[in-house]
Amino acid sequence: MTDTLELEISKRRAAILAELAAAATPPPVLIAVSKTQPDAAIDAMLAAGQRVFGENRVQEAAAHWQHRRGAYPDLELHLIGPLQTNKSEDAVRLFDVIQTLDRPKLADTLAAAMEKTGRRPRLFIQVNTGEEPQKAGVTPAGLAALLDHACTKAGLEIDGLMCIPPVGEPAGPHFALLAKLANAHGLTRLSMGMSGDYVLAARYGATHVRVGTALFGERAKP
């Protein structure tokens, strides 16, 4: 049973890495999205050699990763879900990369948490490229002001941009917009592309793709 799981996961991972390598040089970093996955699947992914993981909730990420960190010093954890300001310190302590900075207040609390903990996770700004009211992320028009606040007022360094295109729309124009915005602001990293469109994202210049179901299989319902 466990052997089968390990074999399946390692095959899926190898296939996706090969697709990414064929799509772009250098290929984007594959972030394995481990939210809602059982321990056996996470351990199988680690056994396959995967070290970069994404989680969308701080508490679940702590449950998945706090006890595993010691055994995997080269682990790299990305926060890819919305962050409440009151969880900033927990997030700064746990994550190596926070991809969902999207408002000035959060820049301030993250800066304070970094000052307090001495840890400096890398930061991406999430852009709501589809301008969906229910979705997190700064609007494309608001990006310049947020960048200015984060860098000038909060003293943060921003590495790149992240987006989640609207469901049911072609993703290409959103990937192109994110790449254009990053370029306009001199940012070199782009987190875009999920299970359905990671190859497309790689072609549009993604440096990081976030893949859950295509790697792990279907998620359990939370």
Nearer to ligand PLP, 165 or 205 (CB): 165
Residue 55 CB, nearest approach to ligand PLP (Å): 9
Q: What's the closest the beta carbon of residue 162 comes to ligand PLP, in angstroms?
A: 8
Q: State which residue, 93 or 219, has the beta carbon closest to ligand PLP.
A: 219
Interatomic CA distance for residues 36 and 113, integer angstroms: 27
> Can you give the C-alpha Rg of the chain in angstroms?
17
Question: Nearest distance from residue 16's CB to ligand PLP, in Å?
Answer: 10
Residue 29 beta carbon to ligand PLP: minimum distance, rounded to whole angstroms: 13
Angle at 167 between CA 162 and CA 172, to 5 degrees: 60
- Nearest residue (beta carbon) to ligand PLP: 212
Tokens of 31: 């972030």
Site residues, ligand PLP (CB under 6 A): 33, 35, 56, 80-81, 164, 194-195, 210-214
Nearer to ligand PLP among residue 154 and residue 162 (C-beta):
162
Q: Name the minimum Å distance from CB 116 to ligand PLP.
A: 27
Nearer to ligand PLP, 57 or 182 (CB): 57
Q: Compare residues 111 and 175 and give the one whose CB is closer to ligand PLP.
A: 175
